[in-house]
Structure 1
Amino acid sequence: MSEPTPEELERAARKGAGRKFFANPWIFVRGVPSMEFLPPEGPSEIAFAGRSNVGKSSLINALTGTKGLARTSNTPGRTQELNFFVQEGEFEDGIPPLALVDMPGYGFAKAPKEAVDKWQQLIFSYLQGRTTLKRVFVLIDSRHGIKKNDEAVLDLLDKAAVSYQIVLTKGDKIKAPALVKLEADTLLRIKKRPAAFPELVSTSSEKSAGIDDLKAAIMYSAGLA
């Protein structure tokens, strides 16, 4: 058996650090319906964006190991606010090291157009004006790949120079060869996008696949590992 490479050792160390970090208890802080209700800037923030029903809430629950922390629903567009989650405990200066932000789903929300427009404006204002935001993880359903409304969000992130990384969700819902092809196609599509991180993470919240890899990616992007 060959010795692990330095890159493999570093990847394993990040995954171990991620598992340890995310094992701490997490709590819901607040829901933010508009920009004036944003909490003060403090901890590094990692946001999750994606089309309605892509599985954001399920992924956050899987990351934190806390069932029901983020609300899940079969009704697209249920999440109508920016929902903030932090670790529970005592921290230096009273500031936790990281906040997770569940953003309103975009796309085919079953709601009046005025409400949808309001949610979209909230998303865009947050992305463009939050200095503590370290990276946006853009969730893409493995069964569908990048759609037109996903492209619009990637365009905005590129324009705003906000770092983002693609996360494929529901990887257990397609066959392994199809997932491998989707990964290659997705990386090719984002190759020339200036704000896109050149790696992606494939996940399944239901099977816990890729969750440790995502924890490691979050730790790295937030400067915690």
Structure 2
Amino acid sequence: MDEFTPEELEEGRVLFARPATFVLGCAKIEQLPEPDLPEIAFAGRSNVGKSSLINGLVGMHKLARASNEPGRTREVNFFDLDGKMRLVDLPGYGWAKASRTTVKKFQDLGRDYLRGRVTLKRVYLLIDSRHGLKKVDDEALDALDLAAVSYQIVLTKADKLKKGEAEKVQAATLKAIAKRPAAFPAVIVTSAEKGVGMPELRAEIMRTTGATL
């Protein structure tokens, strides 16, 4: 992973300490806000910790609503970071309690967003570090490659691993995506609960969007 200077890490901290607000949730592509700010999106399996990660980035407990029911996020949710950028929470995938019709509807919405969003700078694909990449993730990786959208793997819940395990999962994940055309060649290890990797992720997002203080 690229190294970040102390200045970049501090600028990332200051940027994400600015006010963050929920803008809207979109169930149809026609409802998307005007593409007038740089956007970064978060995707991942249901229950991978997307809400916790988004909340951890901005230092707020309830900006993105976590749920004990996997697959509750069935809209594209937009959050504004002080007019500098938007954080976008994409519908989770891989949940078992929804009908195939429902699953397809919200997966298609996510794909439509990925294909047509000119201000989308990168998708951060969250993977549970305890499990690594699974077969259910292949469809998401294929969709991102097909849409030619730059994406980066973020491993979540690293605090649940034994010492040294996170580095092994990180290396295995990097090897698995090495030949994927749209994958950014760095994997960030995080724990929203313990704050691990969050300064680096903030700096990465700031670098990716070109946002300034």
Query: Which of the five TM-score ranges fits, normalised by the shorter chain?
Result: over 0.9
2:159 equivalent among 172, 177, 185:
172
Residues 51 and 66 of structure 2 are in contact (CA less than 8 Å); yes or no, is this contact kept in structure 1? yes
2:122 equivalent among 115, 135, 159:
135
Aligned counterparts of 2:55 and 2:107: Cα–Cα separation in 1:
24
Determine the structure 1 residue equivalent to 2:20. Answer: 26
Q: Which runs of 4+ in 1 moved over 3 A?
A: none
Residue 123, structure 1, aligned to residue 110, structure 2: yes
State the 1:87 CA deviation: 2.5
Determine the structure 1 residue equivalent to 2:87. Answer: 100
1:64 equivalent among 58, 61, 81:
58
Residue 41, structure 1, aligned to residue 28, structure 2: no
Determine the structure 2 residue equivalent to 1:13. Answer: 7
State the 1:67 CA deviation: 1.0
State the 1:16 CA deviation: 1.1
Question: Where in structure 2 are the equivalents of 1:152-171 lying within 5 Å?
Answer: 152-171=139-158
Residue 216, structure 1, aligned to residue 210, structure 2: no
Determine the structure 2 residue equivalent to 1:188. Answer: 175
Aligned counterparts of 2:58 and 2:119: Cα–Cα separation in 1:
21
Determine the structure 2 residue equivalent to 1:3. Answer: none
Structure 1: stretches of 5+ with no match in the other structure: 1-6, 89-95
Instruction: Report the count of equivalent residues.
Output: 211
Percent of aligned pairs with the same amino acid: 55
State the 1:176 CA deviation: 2.2
Aligned counterparts of 2:188 and 2:70: Cα–Cα separation in 1:
23
Aligned counterparts of 1:13 and 1:49: Cα–Cα separation in 2:
28
Aligned counterparts of 2:84 and 2:62: Cα–Cα separation in 1:
22
User: What TM-score does the superposition give when structure 1 sets the normalisation length?
Assistant: 0.90
Residues 109 and 116 of structure 1 are in contact (CA less than 8 Å); yes or no, is this contact kept in structure 2? no
Query: Could you list the per-position Cα deviations for residues 181-224 of structure 1 after superposition, in whole angstroms to 9, with x for gaps in the alignment?
Result: 11111111111111111111100011111111110111111122
State the 1:109 CA deviation: 4.2
The one-letter code matched in structure 2 to 1:206 is E
